[in-house]
Structure formats: C-alpha cells, structure tokens
C-alpha cells in the first residue's frame, strides 16, 4: 500500500509584503501614539494620531511613511511609497558610487631582491598609490636569514625613498614574526604640488 502525501501551498496575495522588504514602517505598521506629519511637498501638517494621518493619506491616494522614528514625536511623510523607495534606493546607489574605497595592496620582497625586480615592484606601488590605495611592502626571511634584518631594513628604506614624492609613511618599518614591513599611503598635498 502506498502512502500519499498532500502538500498545501497558498500563493501570496497581491497585498502581502515580504519580510524586511522595507526599512521604514508604513501605513498600519506605525504604532506611535502621536506623530508629526509632513506632506509630499515638505509642508508640515502638524502633530496628530496615526489614524488621522492615515485618513489624510488615503484621501490623497498615498501612503504614510515613517521617515524619522527616533524623533519625539516620530516624523511621518505622506507620499507614494513606491516612488519614495525608488528615490531612496537611487540616492544610496549614487552615494556608494562616489564613495572611494581605499584598499591595502601588498608587495613582497626577499632580502636579496635584485635591482630590476625592485624597480618593477616600485612601479606597481606607484600605480596603486596613484589609484588611491595604501601599499604594504613586506620583506620575507626564511630560516636563519632573520639574523640579517639590516638588509631588509635597507631595502624598505630604499622603497620609502622611491615613493616619497607621492606617498607618506602610514606605519613605520616594523617586525612581524619573520617579516619586516612598512605601509605607505597616498599624500594628497604632494600630489597637488606635482
């Protein structure tokens, strides 16, 4: 005999909103006893109960959106929620686009790096600094090579000197286990002079 299982699925109705789809409380979700109401043109309508504000919003065929929940009393705006959320999303996207993100780029050397390789890595570091990123130069030691740290310090001093016209030291030369490192950051004042 076979077991038959029935799975009941109810499709969401048109008016159900997904959980956490919006950050602001809207319409019936506003639960403050008194709210300060502003219309879509920015004109203050005064302090009233959410029920009175909802009545005005429904008469104008718009939504009541809580825009400043931390204020006393909370500030709500009568506006078309779809248009409001679109404008908010567009504004956030624009801010993210124009926000410069600084990254840390790392260049690794051995204590006996040849002049050609050194110059090649310095050119890369200059490109990274021109793009606005920080650069971490690291000298690696293996085994007993750590005894000769003075060679690594000398190499990093040459590195700093090669970049001093466009960058400044963010973190001085220091030892981290079997590594010596220095961090350089773009110097905007030197770039302007250039």
- Residue 21: what pLDDT? 47
pLDDT band at 26 (very low <50, low <70, confident <90, very high): confident
CB 166 within 8 A of CB 109: no
Note the Cα 11 to chain centre separation in Å: 37
Q: Give the pTM.
A: 0.48
> What is the rounded average pLDDT for all residues in the chain?
80
Q: How far apart are CA 61 and CA 14, in angstroms?
A: 18
Note the Cα 23 to chain centre separation in Å: 18
Edge-first strand listing for the sheet containing 44-48:
44-48, 35-38, 75-79, 63-68
Identify the CA nearest to 115 among candidates 158, 148, 145: 158
Residue 140 pLDDT more than 50? yes
Q: What is the mean pLDDT of residues 56-60?
A: 85
Complete domains list, the chain, with CATH: 27-98 (3.10.20.80), 104-193 (3.30.110.10)
pLDDT, tens digit, for every residue of 65-123?
A: 888 888 888 888 888 888 888 888 888 887 777 666 667 888 888 888 888 888 999 99
- Residue 41: what pLDDT? 82
Radius of gyration of the chain (CA): 30
pLDDT, tens digit, for every residue of 169-182?
A: 888 888 888 888 99
Determine the 3-state secondary structure of 44 from DSSP. Answer: strand
Q: How far apart are CA 139 and CA 34, in angstroms?
A: 64
Q: How far apart are CA 140 and CA 132, in angstroms?
A: 25
- Residue 45: what pLDDT? 85
Pair of tokens at residue 123: 């050119």
Residue 15 pLDDT more than 50? no
> Greatest CA separation found in the chain?
88
Q: How far apart are CA 61 and CA 55, in angstroms?
A: 10
User: What percentage of residues in the chain have a pLDDT greater than 90?
Assistant: 5
Establish whether the linkage from the previous residue to 16 is cis, with ω within 30° of 0.
no
């Amino acid at each position: 005999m076979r077991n038959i299982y029935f799975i009941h699925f109810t499709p969401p109705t048109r008016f159900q909103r997904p959980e956490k789809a919006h950050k602001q409380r809207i319409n019936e979700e506003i639960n403050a006893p008194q709210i300060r109401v502003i219309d879509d043109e920015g004109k203050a309508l005064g302090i009233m109960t959410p029920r009175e504000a909802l009545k005005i919003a429904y008469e104008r065929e718009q939504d009541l959106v809580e825009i400043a929940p931390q204020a006393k009393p909370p500030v709500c705006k009568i506006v078309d929620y779809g248009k409001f959320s679109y404008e908010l999303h567009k504004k956030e996207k624009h801010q993210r686009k124009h926000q410069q993100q600084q990254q840390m780029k790392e260049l690794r050397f051995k204590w006996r790096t040849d002049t050609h390789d050194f110059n090649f890595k310095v050119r890369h570091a200059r490109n990274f600094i021109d793009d606005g990123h920080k650069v971490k130069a690291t000298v690696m030691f293996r085994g007993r090579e750590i005894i000769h740290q003075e060679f690594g310090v000398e190499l990093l001093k040459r590195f700093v000197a090669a970049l001093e016209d466009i960058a400044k030291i963010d973190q001085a030369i220091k030892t981290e286990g079997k590594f010596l490192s220095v961090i350089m950051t773009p110097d905007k004042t030197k770039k302007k002079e250039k």
